[in-house]
């Protein structure tokens, strides 16, 4: 399958998005040579199947080297970032479907299924522990895109350069299995959050506030110079309305 460009009318306005169906894509970025911390961010929502996504559903985002051998391809040049749907040992988790008390479709993940990851060649290396704090809440992905509903959320991954250990951190996540108000964010909202040291979108918390480290070798495996995203399903689809990179330090 592949990513395609789609257009939806949401709130009387045309929204153009990249719709991902078992696909990976990357965009080159011009990073300053002396960067020490960057944020990869997206504004997004999903479509839903009306049921759980079993058998292993996984979304990943971060930085990679080049745009040829990406994360999600048979072999990967060099990737570092976060993935949603696997634990620290690589075991898969179900994306659980619910409408909660809001009445709109969403998928949620238990807090123990989000990890930092690097991939070089065919080798995935997971952080020794998860990015999430123990919590009774869950990570929510709003999933009413097929109905052109205004439910676009935001997702950030902060990456700090090290030698050799890079740090991966999620500054804000939408959580709560029930009683969640649907918050829809505009492109301007998203871009404002991208540059903030500690973004605090309405309804979001820092539940996933643990920093994890993984060794990254840009000399041996390739300079990180692209933003990369991957989604491995064709039933429910991610729709990326905005993607951005901010140099924070």
3-state secondary structure 69-116: CCECECCEEEEEEEEECECCCCCECCEEEECCCCCCCEEEEECCCEEE
pLDDT for 199: 87
pLDDT for 115: 84
| Residues near 212 by beta carbon (within 8 Å), at least 6 away in sequence | 115, 116, 127, 128, 129, 130, 131, 167, 168, 169
pLDDT for 177: 47
pLDDT for 234: 95
**Which secondary-structure segment (H or E) carries 190?**
helix 187-194
3-state secondary structure of 16: strand
With beta carbons less than 8 A apart as the criterion, state whether 86 and 78 touch. no
With beta carbons less than 8 A apart as the criterion, state whether 180 and 148 touch. no
Name the strands in the sheet holding 59-64, side by side, starting at the edge strand that comes first in the sequence: 23-28, 226-231, 59-64, 76-84, 114-121, 123-126
pLDDT for 176: 53
Q: Which of 113, 121, 58 is nearest to 89 (CA)?
A: 113
Chunked mean pLDDT (size 10), the chain, 249 residues: 91 96 96 95 96 91 97 96 79 83 81 83 84 60 95 93 91 62 90 91 68 93 98 96 97
pLDDT for 130: 64
CATH number of the 4-247 domain: 2.60.120
pLDDT for 206: 63
Report the C-alpha gap between 22 and 109 in whole angstroms.
19
pLDDT for 138: 63
pLDDT for 146: 97
For the chain, the distance separating the N- and C-terminal CA atoms, rounded to the nearest angstrom, is 37
């Amino acid at each position: 399958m592949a990513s395609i460009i789609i257009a939806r009318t949401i709130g009387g306005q045309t929204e153009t998005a990249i719709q991902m169906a078992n696909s990976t894509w990357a965009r080159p970025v011009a990073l300053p040579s002396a960067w020490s911390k960057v944020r990869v961010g997206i504004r997004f929502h999903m479509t839903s199947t009306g049921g759980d996504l079993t058998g292993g559903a996984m979304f990943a985002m971060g930085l990679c080297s080049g745009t040829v051998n990406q994360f999600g391809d048979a072999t990967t040049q060099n990737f570092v970032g976060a993935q949603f749907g696997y634990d620290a040992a690589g075991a898969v988790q179900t994306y659980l479907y619910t409408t909660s008390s809001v009445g709109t479709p969403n998928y949620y993940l238990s807090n123990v299924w989000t990890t930092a990851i690097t991939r070089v060649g065919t080798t995935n290396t997971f952080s020794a522990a998860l990015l999430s704090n123990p919590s009774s809440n869950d990570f929510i992905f709003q999933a009413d895109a097929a109905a052109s509903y205004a439910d676009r959320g935001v997702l950030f991954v902060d990456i700090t350069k090290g030698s050799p250990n890079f740090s991966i951190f999620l500054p804000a996540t939408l959580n709560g299995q029930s009683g969640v108000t649907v918050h829809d964010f505009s492109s301007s909202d998203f871009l404002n959050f991208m540059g903030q040291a500690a973004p605090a979108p309405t309804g979001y918390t820092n539940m996933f506030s643990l920093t994890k480290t993984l060794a990254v070798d840009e000399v041996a495996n390739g300079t990180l110079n692209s933003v990369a995203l991957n989604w491995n399903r064709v039933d429910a689809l991610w729709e990326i309305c905005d993607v951005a990179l901010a140099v924070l330090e």
